[in-house]
Amino acid sequence: MVTTDFQKIFPMGERLYIGLAGLATDVQTVAQRLKFRLNLYELKEGRQIKPQTFMSMVSNLLYERRFGPYYTEPVIAGLDPVTHEPFICSLDLIGCPMITDDFVVSGTCSEQMYGMCESLWEPDMEPDHLFETISQAMLNAVDRDALSGMGVVVHVIEKDKITTRTLKARMD
């Protein structure tokens, strides 16, 4: 049985998400192990985790398996629970982080996305404009890469709300 709606984005906190591109079994394993470690952290510390700390947790999990890595490329996006500062980064298979202020791409269609993201991205976009930009870049990449799936789920994280929209792409 083949599914076209495999979950690749996982909520890890109130304003913290991780996207995992890669081998389906490794995606599920990494998501479950991270949720376990995150629950332990929050029980021990008694507070929500900061995105930078979560990035270190993900990096450690991946680096532990560097000789037999999980085939996933994580992307972490979220807001700091106290300052509401945005945070976005990506990691490679062995946990090396790439922190940036603008955008990151990951997965089978990453080559197609770089050009679109570089041309469409602007600093300090409003949430609606950001959604349109993300949607255009993602749908363009998905249309050019059959392995990426049949649609896109876009999460726009704001200080007071999270907007989630599903976009359908062509199925051929």
Q: Are residues 86 and 116 in the same domain?
A: no
* CA pair distance 151, 60, nearest whole angstrom: 31
| Residue 2 pLDDT > 70 | no
Q: Are residues 151 and 125 in the same domain?
A: yes
Q: Are residues 76 and 91 in the same domain?
A: yes
Q: Are residues 103 and 113 in the same domain?
A: no
- pLDDT digits 0-9 by tens, 123-170: 989 999 999 999 888 888 887 776 776 788 899 999 999 999 988 877
Q: Which of 52, 72, 107 is the last residue of a domain?
A: 107
Answer yes or no: are the C-beta atoms of 17 and 10 closer than 8 Å. yes
* CA pair distance 8, 31, nearest whole angstrom: 9
Q: Are residues 21 and 73 in the same domain?
A: yes
Q: Are residues 95 and 44 in the same domain?
A: yes
* CA pair distance 114, 103, nearest whole angstrom: 9
| pLDDT confidence of residue 4 | 61
Instruction: Name residues whose C-beta falls within 8 Å of residue 123's C-beta, 6 or more positions apart in sequence.
Output: 102
| pLDDT confidence of residue 172 | 64
Q: Are residues 125 and 157 in the same domain?
A: yes
pLDDT tier at 74, thresholds 50, 70, 90: very high
Q: Are residues 80 and 128 in the same domain?
A: no
Q: Are residues 54 and 12 in the same domain?
A: yes
Please tell me the total count of domains within the chain: 2
Q: By residue range, what is the domain housing residue 69?
A: 1-107
Q: Are residues 42 and 93 in the same domain?
A: yes
Answer yes or no: are the C-beta atoms of 155 and 127 closer than 8 Å. no
User: Which amino acid is it at 130?
Assistant: L
Which residue has better confidence, 168 or 37? Answer: 37
Q: Which of 81, 107, 133 is the last residue of a domain?
A: 107
Helix (H, G, I), strand (E, B) or coil at 156: strand
Q: Crossing angle of helices 110-120/127-144, nearest 10°?
A: 150
Domain CATH code at residue 44: 3.60.20.10
Helix (H, G, I), strand (E, B) or coil at 73: strand
Q: Are residues 115 and 40 in the same domain?
A: no
Q: Are residues 13 and 80 in the same domain?
A: yes
